[in-house]
Amino acid sequence: MCRNIRPLFNFEPPATEDEIEAAALQYVRKVSGTTRPSRENEAAFAEAVAQVAAITRALVRERLTTRATPRTREEEAVRAKARGAEREARLLEKLRQFR
Q: What is the pTM of this model?
A: 0.79
Q: Is the dihedral of CA 60, 50, 27, 4 positive or negative?
A: negative
Which ranges in 1-99 belong to alpha helices (H)? 17-32, 42-58, 73-98
Q: CA 66, CA 38: separation in Å to the nearest integer?
A: 41
Q: CA 64, CA 81: separation in Å to the nearest integer?
A: 27
Per-residue pLDDT tens listing for the chain (99 residues): 456 678 899 999 999 999 999 999 999 999 999 999 999 999 999 999 999 999 999 999 999 999 999 999 999 999 999 999 999 999 999 999 987
- Eight-class DSSP state of 11: B
Q: 3: helix, coil or strand?
A: coil
Q: In 3D, which of 67, 73, 63, 69 has the Cα closest to residue 19?
A: 73
